[in-house]
Structure 1
């Protein structure tokens, strides 16, 4: 009886030991938890020693904790970057949980992104079997260097379609560039054009266009984006100012609209009163010259003479012609005298000459030779 009890005790002890060992093995078994690959997504993609101007991240598509589509990372660098060689990532714990995940290529690997090269970066588990979890196609480009703005008016037209009274499109005849000053453009419309109702079409190289019709150039307002009629009749000016993309630099252009024949002679062929032989005679107001243009004008150069009759050798002007000029120039719509002087040194007879007058806009030397000259033929009789 005692033997049976003893054997039972031994069995109980052995069972207890086996149970204890089994429990101990269960406690030491490896974890079967699965990584959530959503946590492996990159939040940013910094570069070593380079500051991007833009970055676009399209995350990988994940279904049932599995990647089905690679992610895309497109990085834009400043145009001042000279090369896309030897560029490396600078991923830190801010962008990726490095206790759980690793990235390859690593930060220590320099890569070339020249010629549109794309590199695949792989996110893997940091421990265990280190399986690849997510992928990103990474590309790097440079910004296109901004083209310098010349801030010039590149086109100014009065289109017939917008100005029905014009016979055709009117474009720029002359451009004068003045670095550090004010540029000028000249356009010429037909005589009789209504200067109070002109619709311009403007092209310019810059970011923003402003205008003013005041001589104070600080009163600029933004040029209308829709077709707008302007009153350009004297004395109203038109200044256009182009600003650059940063608003730091400006360039101003004076728009000058006129006719090519601003001077009209009331009577183009006149006969002066008779002059007495041996006496110098001056006859004011034998006719008038009229400013039919759109700007204040004055003389461009000295009067020249042609078709002198009779021919005198050496060539001598028996008749000289001059124009009276009001102080400050002749204003549009005004007129002034054309005067004749007959020399005292010639014998009796009939003398004839044609005077040619040249004109410029008042104090505007850039307008020289832009305007058509005008002529007046004068006949004078010298009597005894």
Structure 2
């Protein structure tokens, strides 16, 4: 009987324990479960697989008192211009992937410059625990502001000892009808060695380069570098923007103020009999002392026309500059001066006039021209040249 009573007591004891256990389970979580804190999945970084970012700005999601997301987080990633092409993906996360999912997943190429994309992070144990990040990839800003200009171009005496002073560019010109080509004009003294000039250049842009005769562009150093501007070389200066996708090229025209040197600035013809004319071909020489070819030229005008006392104003003489054959006169070459007269009138005495050669620069052909500046590719950069002619008409 005693054994039966003890067994009953033991059974009652175990029933009480089981009952207490069941009651306690109603007030708390089941054995083997833990709560989920979604804040453990907050991102502290967003590395990319395809590129290293230059900067990153992370704003975390906002939560209410129940730790529920009420506002998305945001991530702004700045990359270099060189890495702008193609799709980008997330490389890794800073949370435990056994506890949280990220959608799209690591390695999914869903990002591109200028197209924001929303990532979702959720708990693997509690699908109601969710946060989001709006991710945007942008390109670094151009610190130069995107401008592409040469702000100054000069030859400094300190870098060019043969010069007596600093020489600034004469003008900067743009040619809209020639594909927006641009040019810099600068004039140096006669006798300057065009082949060893060192320009000082200031500019707006990211890089400065130069090329010769349409060859490859080479970086132009801040400390300067000797460039061979001597004919027939054509020198281009290029300014490129920060991203390397836009540039502006400037052709540099280096010459002298007066490229024509006459053997003499005055000429007196032999006496001319009334009714006769004078034909003076090649009566003197002239030299191209500049840096560009010069074609045959005729005067643009005649001034100081003088006739003998009592006679009406009558231009007896004309002049021209030629090569002495066909073709242009290149730098360093000689040409011929021609003086002609019309049939001498019955006005005896001395006749005098001054031929004015007011020539310009033709940008399209890179040479001196007699064309007017009314053409938008012709520049007035030279000093006019005067040549005085006189002769006496006799009976």
More deviation, 290-299/229-238: 290-299
1:11 Cα deviation from its structure 2 partner = 4.3
Q: 1:382 to 1:149 in 2, by over 3 A?
A: same
* Structure-2 residue corresponding to 1:270: 267
Partner residue in 2 for 1:220: 216
Q: Find the aligned partners of 1:16 and 1:310 in 2 and give their Cα distance.
A: 153
Give the C-alpha shift of residue 363 in structure 1. 6.4
1:26-65 map, 5 Å = 26=21, 29=25, 30=29, 31=31, 39-42=40-43, 55-57=56-58
Find the counterpart in structure 2 of residue 356 from structure 1: 356
Quote the residue 2:12 is aligned against.
17
Within 2, Cα distance between the matches of 1:360 and 1:287?
A: 23
Q: 1:300·1:360 contact (CA, 8 Å) conserved in 2? A: no
Residue 245 to residue 34, structure 1, CA distance change in 2 (3 Å): same
Given candidates 303, 308, 316, the residue that maps to 2:300 is 303
Deviation sequence 1:303-349 (CA, Å, 0-9, x none)? 32222223787532022222224533221122222222233224331
Indicate how the Cα distance of structure 1 residues 55 and 303 shifts in structure 2: closer, same or farther if over 3 A, else same.
Answer: closer
Q: Is the alpha carbon distance of 1:230 and 1:370 closer, same or farther for their aligned partners in structure 2, counting shifts above 3 Å?
A: same
Across the aligned residues of Structure 1 and Structure 2, the Cα RMSD in angstroms comes to 4.7
Moved more, 323-332 or 373-382: 323-332
Contact between 2:58 and 2:74, CA under 8 Å: does it hold in 1? yes
Q: Do the aligned partners of residues 367 and 258 (structure 1) sit closer, same or farther apart at CA in structure 2, a change above 3 Å counting?
A: farther
Q: CA deviation at 1:221?
A: 2.5
After TM superposition, give the deviation of residue 32 of structure 1 in Å. Answer: 8.7
State the match for 1:115 in structure 2.
Answer: none
The count of residues paired between Structure 1 and Structure 2 equals: 322
Name the residue aligned to 1:64: none
Deviations 1:175-229 (A, max 9, x none): 1324526432211112222211111233455555543322xx3x32333335210
Q: Pick from 171, 174, 187: which aligns with 1:173?
A: 171
Match of 1:371 in 2: 382
User: SS of the counterpart of 2:162?
Assistant: coil
SS in 2 for 1:18: helix
Cα distance in 2 between the residues matched to 1:277 and 1:205? 67
Are the counterparts in 2 of residues 299 and 358 from structure 1 also a CA contact under 8 Å? Answer: no
In structure 2, runs of 5+ residues without a counterpart are 47-52, 62-72, 80-92, 102-121, 362-366, 372-376
Provide structure 1 residue ranges, at least 5 long, that are not aligned to the other structure. Answer: 46-51, 61-71, 79-93, 103-122
State the partner residue of 1:319: 317
Contact 1:296–1:332 under 8 Å retained in 2:
yes
Q: Quick check: 1:300–1:368 contact (8 Å CA) kept in 2?
A: no
CA distance in structure 2 between the aligned counterparts of 1:268 and 1:327, rounded to whole angstroms: 24
Q: Which range moves more in the overlay, 366-375 or 246-255?
A: 246-255
Question: Where does residue 196 of structure 2 map in the other structure?
Answer: 197
Change (3 A) 1:174 1:243: closer
Name the CA distance, whole Å, in 2 between partners of 1:221 and 1:164.
Answer: 27
- TM-score, structure 2 normalization: 0.64
Give secondary structure in 2 for the equivalent of 1:298.
coil
How far the C-alpha of 1:136 sits from its partner, in A, is 11
Task: Report the CA distance between 1:149 and its aligned residue.
Answer: 4.9
Question: Please, which moves more after superposition, 224-233 or 205-214?
Answer: 205-214
Residue of structure 2 aligned with 1:380, choices 371, 377, 391: 391
